[in-house]
Amino acid sequence: MPERPSHAVSSLPGFPAAHYHPIKYEATHKKAFGGCTGQLELTSAALHFRCSHQADLDIPVSFIARIHKDGVVLESGEKYHFLIANHSKSQVEMIFNLWLNRVRQFHQASGESSL
């Protein structure tokens, strides 16, 4: 029997997840003049990107307005795009869409359960 991926969200359809597991990828932050390859981590609280050639990116989920292709657009209008190793551009777009939808649902469920 195949093992369950460690990054899976444990939930049944219609029921909120008990805990959101962070997902890590080897990725390149795309920039106009080159990019920087490092580690992209998508957590329930933020998008984190670490690379030895630039300052870390730590973007709280609450600052993200929407997904834009292979990245995110912040409420301020800033855009951040990434290449994820061994994934096509459309797969990267799907990864970001699924992540943002899940963490927003996770936060809504967490907020409702604390009332």
25-57 pLDDT per residue, tens:
999 999 877 789 999 999 999 999 999 888 899
Q: What Cα–Cα distance (Å) separates residue 60 from each residue in 10, 32, 78, 80, 87? A: 22, 23, 13, 13, 24
Q: How many domains does the structure of the chain reveal?
A: 1
Q: What percent of the chain has pLDDT above 90?
A: 64
The reported pTM is: 0.77
Side chain identity at 108, as an amino acid letter? Q
Whether 27 is covered by a domain: the verdict is yes
Please report the pLDDT score of residue 32 as a whole number.
Answer: 77
Whether 7 is covered by a domain: the verdict is no
Tell me: the pLDDT tens digits for 81-91? 999 999 999 99
Tell me: the pLDDT tens digits for 6-25? 344 444 444 444 567 899 99
Please report the pLDDT score of residue 33 as a whole number.
Answer: 78
Q: Do 36 and 54 meet the contact criterion of CB atoms below 8 Å apart?
A: yes
Please report the pLDDT score of residue 19 as a whole number.
Answer: 63
Q: What is the CATH number of the domain that holds 61?
A: 2.30.29.30
Whether 3 is covered by a domain: the verdict is no
Band of residue 77 on the pLDDT scale cut at 50, 70, 90:
very high
Range of the domain at 75: 23-110
